[in-house]
Amino acid sequence: MLHFLDEHFDQIGSFKTYGEVVDFIHSSLIYHLIYANTDDHPLVGGLDLVHTRWRFVYYKHSQLTAIYSYTGESPIKGIEREAFDQGLDLIEIHQGSSFNPIQLAVTTDLDIESLKKDWCETYCEAHGYSLMTYEGVGSIDEDSAALQTTGGADD
């Protein structure tokens, strides 16, 4: 079990997989963008794009086909082009200040769960959050030796 903690180590949520943590972070970022653009909280000085710089996106090949069918002459290149031409899915990883995402063609030897874990840990470290991993069967107090934390401002 993964426990997502804020900077005061208060639990924000519990998750079974890193994929669920990724989905939670994405939902939180989307909520922030929507909330920041309401009548009660209008955006001052434009959209806060810092919240769009953290994404872990898995594109099915069928999604890529649908996207590129609307563009006519395809402007894609590099790994994105290779994945598309080979009929593979594509993972796009955005991590904070980098405007150029990491792109990976999904092959049988690609460890997607490890990529999600690394992304979650990097996100937590950059934002002062922590992820606590609990792998015991008893209560947290009984199995404190099974606890591990990652991320956070002190790492």
**Residue ranges of the domains in the chain?**
2-150
- CA count, 13 A, side-chain hemisphere, 85: 8
Query: CA–CA separation, 62 vs 58, rounded Å?
Result: 11
53 or 152: which leads in pLDDT: 53
Q: pLDDT band for 140, please (50, 70, 90 cuts).
A: very low
Q: What are the tens digits of pLDDT across the range 65-87?
A: 887 777 665 667 788 888 988 99
Q: What are the tens digits of pLDDT across the range 17-27?
A: 999 999 998 88
Q: What is the pLDDT of residue 120?
A: 95
Tell me if the pTM is above 0.85: no
Tell me the C-alpha to C-alpha distance, in Å, between residue 64 and each of 1, 59, 61, 110, 121: 33, 7, 5, 19, 28
